[in-house]
C-alpha cells in the first residue's frame, strides 16, 4: 500500500510570464490533515487545481495514490472529494437534489447516502430548501456534503470554513477531525484562518510566490512556535551549565548567536534571573518570547524574494 | 459514461430555463392557432395547411434560437457556478464529460424543437377538425428531420457554450450568430466558388429544405440526413478537443 496519498514532483505552472507555481515538491501521507498556508495569489488554488486536473502543469507531475499517468490519475480522482474555491452548487436545486446530481455523477449506488450525508453535515432539516436560499455557512456545509459523497479517501478543501459563524467553524472542525480519526480520511485544507488551521492540521505546507518554502509537522511547528524565555548573557556556555545543574532542566537550546531559549520555568522568571546572577553571569537580554502560527507564517514569508 | 448521462439528464429535468422554455413553447403551440378564428376572410385552414404554413414556417428559427438560451444556462453556467470543477475532478475523462453533456443538451434541444410540430399540430387538429390532416409520412419525415437538425445545431451551440464562461455571453453570441449567419454565408458562397458547394450542403442551408422533403429525390434525402449526422460528429469532436484544452476556472 502506498504511504503517500499525494506527491508532486517539481510541479510548475506558468501563465504567460507569471510563474504561478514553481517546482513544488509536496507530499501528504495517508492519515494526515495537511494545512496549506499562503497569502492571496501565493499559488494555493493553482496548485489545488493542478492536483484536481482542472489545469495542466507546465512542468513536473502529480502523483495521486501512487498513480501519475493521465489515465490513472483520472481513476485516482474517483477516490477524492473536493471543494475548490467555494462550494460547487446548483442554486435552483434543493440540498437533496444537489447531492443527488453528484451521486449520479460519481455513480454511487443507492439513494441512502444522500440522507446520510445531509445528516452528517447537519442539513437534514433543510433538505428541501433551494441552495440559492442558503446562507454562506449552509452552502459551505452542503459543499462539504458533496465532497463527502462516495466515502472519499482524500478530501481537498479550499477555504471550506470561509463565511462560517463561530459555531459553524467549531462544528466543521469537529466533523473534519472525526472524519480523519474515525474514518482515516486524509485531508488537504487551505484556509486564511490560521488559528483555525493550527487547531486542525497535523502537517503544514507554506507556499509563497508559487514556491513551497516549508513543510513541517505539527510537532515541529509547535516546537518552533513554542513559548520560551529568551536569555542572553555574557557567557552562554557557563549559563547553560548553570541552568542544567541548578535548575535541573535540559529543556533549552543554545542558539548560534549565544542566546538561550529556555522552554521551562516560564512562570518563574525571577528564579532564573536570581540563579544566573548568583553565578556572576551578566544578563544582557531576558524576555518571554514565542510565536503563533500567524506570526510564524509572517516571519517565514518575510524576506522571500519575488521572482 | 452511464453515470454521467444519468447525472446530466437529472440536471436537464431540473433546469429552470428548460422548464420555462418548454412551458412557453407549449403555451404558444396551444394558443397560437386560436388566432385563425379572428381571420374571418379566408375561413379556417385545414390542419395540413396549418402544419405546412405555420408549424414548418417557423421551425428554422425555433431550432436555431430557442436552444441557444438553453446552451447558456445548461452548459456555460456550469463554469460560472463552479460546478464544472467538481465534474472534472470527479474521476471521469474530459471526453466522456463533454459527450455526456452534449448528448443531454441535444436531447433538450430536440425536445424543444419538436414541441411546436407536436403540440401546434395537435392543437390545430382539435380546433380545425380532423378533416385535411397532413400526410402521416410527410409529418413523420419533417419531424424526424427537425429532430436531426435540432441535434446538429445543438452540437454547434455546445462548442461556443464551452468556449465562453458566462451564460449571458453565450446566449448573446449564439442568438446574434444564428440570426445573422445566413447573410454572410450567402455572400461567401457567391464570392468564393470553392466554398459554394460546402455552404450549400451545410446544415445552415439544408435546414430550409426540410419543408420540401416530399419533393426531393432519394439522393437528396440521403444528403439531408447525412449532413446533420456528420455535423454532429464533427462538432462533437471539435468541442471535445476545446474542452480537453480548456482550463477550468
Mean pLDDT, chain A, rounded, equals 88
Domain residue spans in chain B?
2-245
The proportion of chain A whose per-residue pLDDT surpasses 70, expressed as a percent, equals 97
Angle at A234 between CA A232 and CA A239, to 5 degrees: 70
Q: Give pLDDT tens digits for A13-51.
A: 998 888 899 999 999 999 999 999 888 888 888 999 999
Q: For residue B92, what is the nearest residue in chain A, using CA coordinates?
A: A74
Q: Give pLDDT tens digits for A243-278.
A: 999 988 888 889 888 999 888 887 788 888 899 999
Give the per-residue pLDDT at A227: 76
With contacts defined as CB-CB under 8 Å, which chain A residues touch B244?
A: none
Q: For residue B97, what is the nearest residue in chain A, using CA coordinates?
A: A105
Give the per-residue pLDDT at B47: 85
Least confident of A151-155, A165-169, A214-218: A165-169
**Spatial contact of B115 and A100, defined as CB atoms under 8 Å apart:** no
Spatial separation of the C-alpha atoms in residues A301 and A33, rounded to whole Å = 22
Please, what is the end-to-end C-alpha distance for chain A in angstroms? 39
Give the per-residue pLDDT at A1: 53
The partner residues of A286 in beta bridges, in order of sequence, read A231
Which residues have a Cβ under 8 Å from the Cβ of B105 and sit 6 or more positions away?
A: B8, B12, B67, B70, B71, B74, B75, B154, B157, B158, B161
Which residues have a Cβ under 8 Å from the Cβ of A19 and sit 6 or more positions away?
A: A12, A13, A210, A307
With 70 as the cut, is the pLDDT of residue A304 above it?
A: no
CA B133 → CA B46, B121, B136, distances in Å?
7, 9, 8
Give the per-residue pLDDT at A307: 47
Spatial separation of the C-alpha atoms in residues B143 and A291, rounded to whole Å = 74
With 90 as the cut, is the pLDDT of residue A157 above it?
A: yes
Angle at A59 between CA A55 and CA A62, to 5 degrees: 65
Which of B7, B14, B93 comes nearest A105 by C-beta?
Answer: B7
**Spatial contact of A109 and A149, defined as CB atoms under 8 Å apart:** no
Give the per-residue pLDDT at A303: 57
Q: Which residues of chain B have pLDDT under 70?
A: 1, 40
With 90 as the cut, is the pLDDT of residue A192 above it?
A: no
Give the per-residue pLDDT at B45: 83
Which of B2, B81, B88 comes nearest A53 by C-beta?
Answer: B88
Q: Give pLDDT tens digits for B52-107.
A: 888 888 888 889 999 999 999 999 999 999 999 999 999 899 999 999 999 999 99
> What predicted TM-score, i.e. pTM, was given to this entire model?
0.84
**Spatial contact of B98 and B243, defined as CB atoms under 8 Å apart:** yes
Which of B81, B84, B91 comes nearest A74 by C-beta?
Answer: B91
Spatial separation of the C-alpha atoms in residues A171 and A120, rounded to whole Å = 11
With 50 as the cut, is the pLDDT of residue A83 above it?
A: yes
Residues A104, B10: C-beta atoms closer than 8 Å: yes
Spatial separation of the C-alpha atoms in residues B92 and A213, rounded to whole Å = 33
CB pairs below 8 Å between A and B: how many?
Answer: 86
Spatial separation of the C-alpha atoms in residues A38 and B88, rounded to whole Å = 25
Q: For residue A72, what is the nearest residue in chain B, using CA coordinates?
A: B91
H-helix segments, chain A: 44-52, 70-76, 95-106, 112-120, 136-148, 166-183, 194-200, 218-225, 236-246, 269-278, 293-301
For range A118-139, the mean pLDDT: 89
Residue from A104, A110, A155 whose CB has the most chain B CBs within 10 Å, to mutate: A104
With contacts defined as CB-CB under 8 Å, which chain A residues touch B249?
A: 54
Residues A54, B89: C-beta atoms closer than 8 Å: yes
Q: In the numeric block, which cell numbers belong to residue A205?
A: 505546507
Amino acid at each position: 500500500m502506498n504511504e503517500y496519498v499525494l506527491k508532486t514532483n517539481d510541479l510548475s505552472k506558468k501563465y504567460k510570464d507569471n510563474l504561478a507555481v514553481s517546482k513544488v515538491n509536496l507530499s501528504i501521507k495517508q492519515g494526515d490533515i495537511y494545512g496549506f498556508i499562503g497569502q492571496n495569489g501565493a499559488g494555493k488554488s493553482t496548485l489545488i487545481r493542478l492536483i484536481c486536473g482542472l489545469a495542466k502543469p507546465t512542468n513536473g507531475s502529480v502523483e495521486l495514490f501512487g498513480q501519475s499517468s493521465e489515465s490513472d490519475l483520472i481513476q485516482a480522482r474517483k477516490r477524492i472529494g473536493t471543494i475548490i474555491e467555494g462550494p460547487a452548487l446548483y442554486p435552483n436545486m434543493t440540498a437533496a437534489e444537489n447531492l443527488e446530481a453528484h451521486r449520479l455523477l460519481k455513480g454511487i449506488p443507492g439513494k441512502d447516502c444522500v440522507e446520510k450525508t445531509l445528516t452528517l453535515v447537519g442539513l437534514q432539516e433543510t433538505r428541501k430548501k433551494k441552495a440559492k436560499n442558503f446562507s454562506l455557512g449552509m452552502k459551505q456545509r452542503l459543499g462539504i456534503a458533496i465532497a463527502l459523497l462516495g466515502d472519499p479517501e482524500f478530501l481537498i478543501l479550499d477555504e471550506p470554513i470561509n463565511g462560517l459563524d463561530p459555531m459553524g467553524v467549531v462544528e466543521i472542525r469537529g466533523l473534519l477531525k472525526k472524519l480523519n480519526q474515525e474514518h482515516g480520511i486524509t485531508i488537504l485544507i487551505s484556509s486564511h484562518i490560521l488559528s483555525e488551521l493550527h487547531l486542525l492540521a497535523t502537517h503544514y505546507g507554506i507556499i509563497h510566490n508559487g514556491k513551497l518554502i516549508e513543510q513541517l509537522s505539527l510537532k515541529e511547528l509547535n516546537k518552533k512556535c513554542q513559548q520560551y524565555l529568551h536569555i542572553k548573557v555574557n557567557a552562554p556556555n557557563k549559563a547553560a551549565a548553570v541552568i542544567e545543574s541548578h535548575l535541573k532542566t535540559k529543556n533549552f537550546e543554545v542558539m548560534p548567536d549565544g542566546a538561550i531559549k529556555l522552554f521551562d520555568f516560564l512562570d518563574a522568571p525571577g528564579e532564573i534571573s536570581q540563579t544566573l546572577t548568583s553565578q556572576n553571569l551578566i544578563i544582557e537580554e531576558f524576555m518571554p518570547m514565542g510565536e503563533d502560527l500567524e506570526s510564524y507564517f509572517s516571519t517565514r514569508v518575510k524576506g522571500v524574494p519575488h521572482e | 459514461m452511464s453515470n454521467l448521462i444519468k447525472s446530466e439528464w437529472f440536471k436537464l429535468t431540473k433546469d429552470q430555463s428548460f422548464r420555462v422554455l418548454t412551458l412557453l413553447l407549449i403555451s404558444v403551440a396551444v394558443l397560437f392557432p386560436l388566432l385563425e378564428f379572428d381571420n374571418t376572410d379566408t375561413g379556417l385552414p385545414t390542419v395540413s395547411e396549418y402544419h405546412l404554413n405555420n408549424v414548418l414556417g417557423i421551425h428554422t428559427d425555433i431550432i436555431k434560437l430557442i436552444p441557444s438560451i438553453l446552451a447558456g444556462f445548461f452548459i456555460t453556467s456550469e463554469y460560472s457556478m463552479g460546478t464544472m470543477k467538481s465534474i472534472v475532478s470527479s474521476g471521469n475523462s474530459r471526453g466522456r464529460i463533454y459527450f455526456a453533456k452534449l448528448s443531454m443538451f441535444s436531447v433538450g434541444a430536440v425536445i424543444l424543437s419538436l414541441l411546436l410540430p407536436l403540440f401546434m399540430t395537435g392543437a390545430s387538429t382539435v380546433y380545425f377538425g380532423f378533416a385535411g390532416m397532413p400526410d402521416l409520412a410527410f409529418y413523420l419525415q419533417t419531424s424526424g428531420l427537425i429532430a436531426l437538425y435540432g441535434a446538429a445545431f445543438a452540437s454547434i451551440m455546445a462548442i461556443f457554450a464551452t468556449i465562453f464562461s458566462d451564460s449571458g455571453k453565450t446566449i448573446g453570441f449564439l442568438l446574434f450568430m444564428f440570426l445573422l449567419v445566413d447573410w454572410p454565408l450567402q455572400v461567401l458562397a457567391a464570392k468564393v466558388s470553392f466554398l459554394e458547394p460546402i455552404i450549400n450542403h451545410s446544415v445552415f442551408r439544408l435546414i430550409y429544405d426540410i419543408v420540401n422533403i416530399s419533393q426531393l429525390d432519394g439522393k437528396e434525402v440521403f444528403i439531408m440526413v447525412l449532413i446533420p449526422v456528420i455535423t454532429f460528429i464533427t462538432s462533437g469532436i471539435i468541442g471535445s478537443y476545446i474542452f480537453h484544452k480548456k482550463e477550468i476556472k
